[in-house]
Amino acid sequence: MADKKKPKRTKEDKDEDLPFKSILESDEAILKLLKSYISSSLTAAGSSGASSSSSSKPLTLADLSLSSSCREVADLSLSSVQTEIETVIVQIARSILAGDGFSFSVPSRAASNQLYVPELDRIVLKDKSTLRPFASVSSVRKTTITTRILALIHQLCLRNIHVTKRDLFYTDVKLFQDQTQSDAVLDDVSCMLGCTRSSLNVIAAEKGVVVGRLIFSDNGDMIDCTKMGMGGKAIPPNIDRVGDMQSDAMFILLVEKDAAYIRLAEDRFYNRFPCIIVTAKGQPDVATRLFLRKMKMELKLPVLALVDSDPYGLKILSVYGCGSKNMSYDSANLTTPDIKWLGIRPSDLDKYKIPEQCRLPMTEQDIKTGKDMLEEDFVKKNPGWVEELNLMVKTKQKAEIQALSSFGFQYLSEVYLPLKLQQQDWL
Amino acid sequence: MAGGDSPAETKKGSSKTSKNTKDSSKESTLKQKSPAEFFAENKNIAGFDNPGKSLYTTVRELVENALDSSESISELPEVEVTIEEIGKSKFNSMIGLIDRERVDTKLYDDYETDKAREKRLVKEARASEIQAKNLASGKKNKEPGVSKVLKARGEASYYKVTCKDNGKGMPHDDIPNMFGRVLSGTKYGLKQTRGKFGLGAKMALIWSKMSTGLPIEISSSMKSQNYVTFCRLDIDIHRNIPHIHLHEKKANKEKWHGAEIQVVIEGNWTTYRSKILHYMRQMAVITPYAQFLFRFISETPEKNVTVKFTRRTDVMPPIPIETKHHPSSVDLLLIKRLVTDTSKKTLLQFLQNEFVNINKNLAARLIGEMGPDFSPGMAVKSVTSQQMVRIHQLFRQAKFDDPSGDCLSPAGEYNLRLGIIKELHPDMVATHSGSAQVFEGHPFIVEAGVSVGGRDVKQASHILLLFIHGINIFRFANRIPLLFEQGGDVVTRTALKRINWNSYKINQTQDKIGVFVSIVSTKIPFKGTGKEYIGDDISEIATAVKSAIQQCCIQLKSKIVKRLQAREQQERKRSLSRYIPDATGAVYEVLKQMTEEHTKKRKRYKEEETAMLEKVSKLIITKETLKEKLAEHVEQVDYEMALEYATQSGVSEEPRENIYLQQLNPNHSNFIDLQSPTFVFRLIL
């Protein structure tokens, strides 16, 4: 199909510099369309809010009477974290002195212990726990590392300082061996103590960046994200520093990759269509997810996602939307509801006539991931997504955002995105 | 210059002139080109690409011939291979050339100009300086800095290759023709054979003719003969006939039967040493019922190599049976040849008798399907070329039963296993023999062995075949080792990419893994010019290889799991105790901090906690007490688990291996027997 159309298109290309540019209306017209969409969606939310008085507050596990069978963590103050740790340690010491050794009961974060709750539209952790005894060859390492991490966090509590995950790892490299081990135990510990990872005073290195029509305070300093140069502002690793968000944007654009982000930032896309552009450069970290949620909650803007047209693009989208399995215990704080899939969608490949040489064949692994995702609840709940994913698996083709560069580097910001906005083509 | 090029040159020249004369006399030159000539000009396809490879190929052709010969009379093979290095002056004296010193040194390619000489001296001085420095600092020197002496062009090395077997031997009168004439397509039927081209020693003879010009020497005796035939001959490449120097009968004093073949060829031992030794050892793996003696005799005695591969079993695989072609495997040419050669009269008889899996009923049905031009009774010799195409088409499309694997002779699981154990001494080995499968009308059988662990590098110093960490692949096709072009081979690809070693508790990078796959077939679908590997594109073979390897892995897994459990038993206490200081240290650290907080009254604690913290401050609870108590607990748990393991597993032993005792030489008769009521102790003098 696409092959047959190709020669025709090249003919059209001669008449106009970029395909589909002719359909594009003026920026003012698109802005007008967007404004009417936003006001209508807001009034819709408002009217539904009026009818059911409870929806002003988001649903919680307790509302669904799931709090007994599911585990969720909360932000705890430093002193209560300290008390929790001390209680655990005293218990251990007592058990050791009684000659019984010791063990931890750690909530299992395995896939079998995860539950997607459609009412909440996110993944939560069930209540299954595994026992981690010291006197067992298979768990002695993890148990020791857990003890060590508890002691380290106890120190952080006493001194009231923040350290990075990397710092934590370097305090005892010989025991931890590599950072993935100390990181995994850190998640176990926050799960065990029932607090968020941020309450442990351990932060991750900055990964995400934000640029555009946003003003917020970072540790008391006001930041204007339109005046942060081309690279934008790094998203602060601990969200409690962030406050006073103000914006005149119409939407938040969530970008999977750095390359597309740089393109949009350099073209100052946010000045043409007032928006906030965010990326976590691949799989999102905790800070970016917290930041996105905060923006969405405080500014009440629609979130549009621009990801690759492959199973991993959708996976990243799902992590923002419904949470990751690894950190499902804190999904209430980490997920952003109602993210729209703007592009690149499998159906866009033919719709925008992406040339054959820019599409990539899916590997066996890709296809398997795609099929697995079709079984996931968070995909199933959105019929539009299911359709797109089915199309991807059927055509066995994927494409990256950069595939659009085949029409010129600025096609993304000049034509594709405005056209998408004009047609309100998101799912 | 030692005339490496000159014979080839003259040969080329002569062939050209002869072609011209033929052109004038006969119409078709192509038919007249002798097979010997063809192979001489295309020696790379037969494995004679360069001198080193030629030495290797010569050895393998001779060894494979020897094995075939012994097996054909059901004799346990005994093969002796000797490679003797021949220096330039010795070689010259052999061909009757007098050594000549170089007079005009600048004439030669390896002449060193003054500038180059200066450069070299500086380099050598620097090298020796570094060496001295290293020596002073106590660093190990890699190799005594012998600067590589570059072999000049034309400075060829010559080797005398001798191979002696205890096989069938050859009839006295046939010997000249068997060696001195290259024939193609002598085989009428279809059979699993070792040789890849069916050329045997003839290529070696052509190579010797091309590189040294010296004749081949053959000694042979058959079981019924009371004499030994000695024959010295060379080949007239252009006319494809033997040129006999000497053909005589000698007395056979030792009642020897078999053949001994000796050729002098140009070769390169240095570059192909490891390949030749690998070949011999892998041959010993796949042929454990044979005895090999390999010797390399150098001009410098310290470089001599002698390796003996002893017999480990006297069970030989059956001789492969000759079978007829399967209809789906024949091509047009073959049909034509079968039609010409058949002794059958009618088409029906021809179809019924010249192919497998066609009975009378099917033959009649096939003829009916061919159309009105054909009838069961028609004379088969009257079939036209056009009609043959019809037969061919039908053979391609019609459905036939698969050929059976009865005509094949796989190495056998038993022999493969013994071979691996005998030559490589792995810690564990598992073997599997697949059932016969079919690819394009040719049956094939895949056998596999997987071994884990192996002897230490230090113990096996000069013997080259060693396991390195990771996957070591050994490929065999029709019971001969394949050494070249490993990368594209179906076995390599399967072992490296399609087997999930982790799931069998085998560590792909850390363990020493041996993967042995032997494929036998009436036709091995080789790839590449040198027929050195089997392509990865045949799904039937790829699947069979994968499943055979997997079967071995499944067997190994249970052994490995058992071993891991046993090791865990032994090391449990140690691995648990290792972590005691870290864990108790962390606990104590927190307790101490809490005590400090408590004494400074910065924080209030619950009653039970206060009780403990007071003990900490009074040093009743210390790091040491925690350590001791935890160690006690570990001890207790270890004891309980050991008891549990012992009751669960019981007293089990490894399965025992049968040992193989060498047969005594019946010629030894002077025994001293020490009799006892229960046994006889025999001293062999």
CATH number of domain containing A238: 3.40.1360.10
Residue at which a domain ends, from A170, A203, A236: A203
Same domain, A363 and A387: yes
Q: A32 in a domain, yes or no?
A: no
pLDDT of the residue at B447: 94
Sort out which chain A residues have CB atoms less than 8 A from B568's CB and list them. Answer: 137
pLDDT of the residue at B668: 59
List chain B residues with pLDDT less than 70.
Answer: 1-33, 98-101, 110, 136-155, 182-189, 195-200, 455-468, 529-530, 649-671, 684-685
Same domain, A293 and A312: yes
pLDDT of the residue at B89: 78
Same domain, A101 and A169: yes
pLDDT of the residue at A143: 94
B479 backbone φψ class: left, alpha, beta (φ>0; ψ -120 to 50)? left
Q: Provide residues of B within 8 Å CB-CB of chain A.
A: 568, 571-572, 575-576, 579, 582-584, 586-587, 589-591, 593-594, 597, 605, 608-609, 612, 621, 625-626, 629-630, 632-634, 636-638
User: What's the 3-state SS for B486-555?
Assistant: CCCCHHHHHHHHHCCHHHHCCCCCCCEEEEEEEEEECCCCEECCCCCEECCCCHHHHHHHHHHHHHHHHH
Q: What letters, b where the CB count within 10 A reaches 16 and e where it falls short, cover B91-110?
A: bbeeeeeeeeeeeeeeeeee
**pLDDT above 90 for A10:** no
Sort out which chain B residues have CB atoms less than 8 A from A141's CB and list them. Answer: 579
pLDDT of the residue at A114: 85
Q: A75 in a domain, yes or no?
A: yes
Q: A65 in a domain, yes or no?
A: no
Q: A16 in a domain, yes or no?
A: no
Sort out which chain A residues have CB atoms less than 8 A from B597's CB and list them. Answer: 158
pLDDT of the residue at B193: 76
Task: Specify binding-site residues of A.
Answer: 256, 308
Most confident residue range from A143-152, A324-333, B124-133, B326-335: A143-152
Same domain, A250 and A108: no
Sort out which chain A residues have CB atoms less than 8 A from B584's CB and list them. Answer: 96
Compare CB distances from A140 to B579, B591, B629 and report the shortest one's residue: B579
B465, B278 in Cβ contact below 8 A? yes
Rounded average pLDDT over A143-156:
94
Same domain, A193 and A296: no
- What are the DSSP E strand ranges found in B252-341? 258-267, 291-297, 305-309
What's the CATH number where A177 sits? 1.10.10.10
Q: How far is A182 from chain B (nearest CA, A)?
A: 14
And the tokens for A14? 């001669």
Catalytic position from the list A116, A170, A312, A352: A170
B63, B79 in Cβ contact below 8 A? yes
Q: A403 in a domain, yes or no?
A: yes
B183 is in an annotated binding site: no
- Test the B interface: residue of A79, A94, A131, A134 with most B CBs within 10 Å: A134
Going by C-alpha positions, the residue among B281, B193, B654 that lies closest to residue B472 is B281
Q: Do B593 and A175 touch (CB under 8 A)?
A: no
pLDDT of the residue at B19: 43
Q: Do B572 and A94 touch (CB under 8 A)?
A: no
B26 is in an annotated binding site: no
Q: A40 in a domain, yes or no?
A: no
- What class, spelled out in words, does domain B35-93+156-309 have in CATH? alpha beta
Rounded average pLDDT over A126-152:
91
Going by C-alpha positions, the residue among B81, B50, B460 that lies closest to residue B276 is B81
- Test the A interface: residue of B608, B633, B637, B639 with most A CBs within 10 Å: B633
Q: Do B590 and A100 touch (CB under 8 A)?
A: no
Residue at which a domain ends, from A179, A203, A227: A203
Sort out which chain A residues have CB atoms less than 8 A from B582's CB and list them. Answer: 144, 147-148, 172, 175
A336, A296 in Cβ contact below 8 A? yes
pLDDT of the residue at B655: 56
Q: A56 in a domain, yes or no?
A: no
Same domain, A191 and A227: no
**Calpha distance B420→B448 (Å, rounded):** 11
What are the residues whose beta carbons fall under 8 Å from the beta carbon of B253, sequence distance 6 or more? none
Residue A170 is among the residues annotated as catalytic for this protein: yes
**Calpha distance B500→B491 (Å, rounded):** 14
Compare CB distances from B590 to A86, A99, A140 and report the shortest one's residue: A86
Sort out which chain B residues have CB atoms less than 8 A from A89's CB and list them. Answer: 587, 590-591, 594
Sort out which chain A residues have CB atoms less than 8 A from B626's CB and list them. Answer: 93, 96-97
- Of A252-261, A359-368, A418-427, B465-474, which gets the smallest average pLDDT? B465-474
Compare CB distances from B634 to A135, A147, A158 and report the shortest one's residue: A135
pLDDT of the residue at A118: 82
- Across all residues in chain A, what is the average pLDDT? 85
Which amino acid is it at B182? V
**Which range marks the domain in which residue A132 is found?**
70-203
**Calpha distance B593→B605 (Å, rounded):** 13
Same domain, A399 and A353: yes
**Calpha distance A56→B353 (Å, rounded):** 90
Same domain, A314 and A231: yes
pTM: 0.64
pLDDT of the residue at B144: 45
A411, A405 in Cβ contact below 8 A? yes
Q: Provide residues of A within 8 Å CB-CB of chain B.
A: 85-87, 89-90, 92-94, 96-97, 99-102, 134-137, 140-141, 143-144, 147-148, 150-151, 154-155, 158, 172, 175
Same domain, A233 and A183: no
Residue at which a domain ends, from A182, A203, A224: A203
- Test the A interface: residue of B630, B636, B644 with most A CBs within 10 Å: B630
Q: How far is B576 from chain A (nearest CA, A)?
A: 6
Rounded average pLDDT over A85-93:
92
Q: Do B582 and A141 touch (CB under 8 A)?
A: no
Q: Do domains B327-397 and B413-655 have the same CATH topology?
A: no
- Of A95-104, A345-354, B190-199, B601-610, which gets the smallest average pLDDT? B190-199
Q: Which numeric CATH code is attached to B327-397?
A: 1.10.8.50
B165 is in an annotated binding site: yes
Same domain, A256 and A325: yes
φ/ψ (deg, to 5) at B669:
-120, -15
Q: Structural domain boundaries of chain B?
A: 35-93+156-309, 327-397, 413-655
Q: Do A150 and B590 touch (CB under 8 A)?
A: yes
User: ipTM more than 0.90?
Assistant: no
And the tokens for B197? 């081209």
Same domain, A214 and A199: no
Q: How far is A76 from chain B (nearest CA, A)?
A: 18
User: In this structure, which CATH number among 3.40.50.720, 3.20.20.70, 3.30.230.10, 3.90.850.10 belongs to the domain B413-655?
Assistant: 3.30.230.10
Same domain, A247 and A175: no
Q: How far is B604 from chain A (nearest CA, A)?
A: 10
**Calpha distance B624→B685 (Å, rounded):** 70
Q: How many distinct structural domains can be found in chain A?
A: 2
- Test the A interface: residue of B587, B597, B607, B625 with most A CBs within 10 Å: B587
**Calpha distance B199→B212 (Å, rounded):** 20
**Integer distance in angstroms from the first to the last C-alpha of chain A?**
25
Sort out which chain A residues have CB atoms less than 8 A from B579's CB and list them. Answer: 134, 140-141, 143-144
pLDDT of the residue at B134: 72
Q: Do A100 and B633 touch (CB under 8 A)?
A: yes
And the tokens for B394? 């039908």
Going by C-alpha positions, the residue among B413, B411, B408 that lies closest to residue B432 is B413
Compare CB distances from A137 to B576, B583, B630 and report the shortest one's residue: B576
pLDDT of the residue at A13: 43
